Amino acid sequence: MEVTRKHSKKRDAILQCIRETKSHPSAEWVYQQLKPQIPDLSLGTVYRNLAMFKADGTIQSLGTVAGLERYDGNTDPHTHFICTTCGKVVDLENVELPRAVLTEAEHGAGGIIGSYQLQFFGSCADCAKQNH
Ligand SMILES: [Zn+2]
Ligand SMILES: [Zn+2]
């Protein structure tokens, strides 16, 4: 009983942490944020819980950025920009594929497109500045 309650308390904290940030964090980042409040938290627990949330659709994964899987607490379809230099991930508001592109995709798939993920890669403003 005690174990179950402690376990779900950690799970709640992990989910809250990922929902409260816009930074699209890695498991390591979540672990660093929560460790001071939850001293017996392990990185393995964070990984396991994030994998579970991802599997049941509570959060989404953006794939691997600079070797680390990144997560998003916002599961509404939205577009991302990923800086391949510093690993920053930001939401791009109002960037959607034109209807014509979806129609083309449905042609190619020979079925119905239910959703899509759109990600742009490049250099963020800070990194672009440093390259000049
Ligand atoms: Zn950058
Ligand atoms: Zn996002």
pLDDT tens, 88-122? 999 998 898 999 999 999 999 999 998 888 999 99
- Ligand 2 geometric centre to CA of 4 (Å): 31
Q: Please tell me whether residue 99 adopts helix, strand or coil conformation.
A: helix
Q: Is the pLDDT of residue 2 over 80?
A: no
Ligand with the closest atom to the CA of 123: 1
> What's the pLDDT band for 6 if we cut at 50, 70, 90?
low
Predicted local confidence at residue 1, as pLDDT: 47
Q: Is the pLDDT of residue 124 over 60?
A: yes
Ligand with the closest atom to the CA of 77: 2
> Would the CATH topology of 1-73 be identical to that of 77-132?
no
Instruction: Give, in order, the Cα–Cα distances in Å from 127 to each of 16, 22, 67, 97.
Output: 30, 19, 19, 26
Tokens matching residue 2:
């005690």
How far is residue 44's CA from residue 34's CA, in Å, rounded to a whole number?
Answer: 13
Domain ranges of the chain: 1-73, 77-132
- Mode of pairing for the β-strands spanning 89-92 and 119-122: unpaired
Q: State in words which class domain 77-132 has.
A: alpha beta
Radius of gyration (C-alpha) of the chain in whole angstroms: 18
Helix (H) or strand (E) holding 70: strand 68-72
Ligand with the closest atom to the CA of 88: 1
List pLDDT tens digits, range 44-93. 999 999 999 999 999 999 999 989 999 999 998 899 999 999 999 999 98
Q: State in words which class domain 1-73 has.
A: mainly alpha
Name the pTM for this structure.
0.84
